[in-house]
Amino acid sequence: MHFYTCSIAPNPQRVAILLKLKGITLETTEVDILKGEHFADDFKTLNPACTLPVLSLEDGTVLTDTIAICYYLDRQYPNKPLFGNDALETAQVIGLMHKLYTEGVMPIAEILRNQGETFKDRAIPGRVNIPQISQLIPRGKLRLAAFWDDMNRALENKTFLVGEQLSQADIDLFVICNFVNWVKEQVPSHCIEISRWYKNVQNIVENL
């Protein structure tokens, strides 16, 4: 297998933490999105959508969606399962991952990509140029505020989001809590459940 990543970006980080937790070492290529390397012809052949991360399998199959990559690797390396211990926990983890992406990652991206020169005409990832809409920035901030409150409630009386052990949902929320710094925001001070949970997950990730 070959892993194509951009270490600074949130979606590749979701996979990178999984690899670290499971002790998986893959042949890896760093693709610099700030230099536009994801639009190079050879990468475009690999992934026409020009997004990261990408996992190329030995038989030539290419996975280009973060959830798909994480789930595949979790099944291939079942030690320390990150998608739950049974069908119900797996469903809960996948459902939360979708929520975390649409209600957490996307509002931050909405704020980030609709301002400044760095993402001019790149308001949405992918190969199609999409113009910025500055009016979406305050909407993104409203969505983000609601997201923090939802996650704070979800973590009440819990060590982890699903079950009794760390899951990919926890990894994704951890990445979001760091990604928000890109737009000079932070987890609100009143979200004490998130802060408590974050310190625990940070300790797990940083002490492997």
- Whether residue 59 sits in one domain with residue 91: no
Res 119: pLDDT: 87
Q: Which two tokens stand for residue 93?
A: 């983890």
- Whether residue 195 sits in one domain with residue 92: yes
- Whether residue 51 sits in one domain with residue 124: no
Tell me, yes or no, whether 81 lies in a domain: no
- Whether residue 201 sits in one domain with residue 151: yes
The answer to whether the beta carbons of residues 93 and 137 sit under 8 Å apart is no
Res 208: pLDDT: 78
Measured CA to CA, the distance from residue 195 to residue 108 in angstroms comes to 19
Residue type (1 letter), 100: L
Range of the domain at 72: 2-76
Res 204: pLDDT: 96
- Whether residue 108 sits in one domain with residue 27: no
Q: What is the CATH number of the domain that holds 196?
A: 1.20.1050.10
- Whether residue 176 sits in one domain with residue 97: yes
Q: Which two tokens stand for residue 100?
A: 């975390």
How far the first Cα of the chain sits from its last, in Å, is: 23
pTM (predicted TM-score)? 0.95
Res 144: pLDDT: 98
- Whether residue 92 sits in one domain with residue 170: yes
Res 202: pLDDT: 98
- Whether residue 129 sits in one domain with residue 54: no
- Whether residue 116 sits in one domain with residue 27: no
Which of 22, 2, 8, 57 lies closest to 166, judged by CA? 22
- Whether residue 109 sits in one domain with residue 71: no
Consecutive sets of 10 residues in the chain, 208 residues long: mean pLDDT of each? 97 98 97 94 95 97 97 96 97 98 97 92 88 96 98 98 97 98 97 98 93
Measured CA to CA, the distance from residue 23 to residue 79 in angstroms comes to 9
Res 118: pLDDT: 87
Res 159: pLDDT: 98
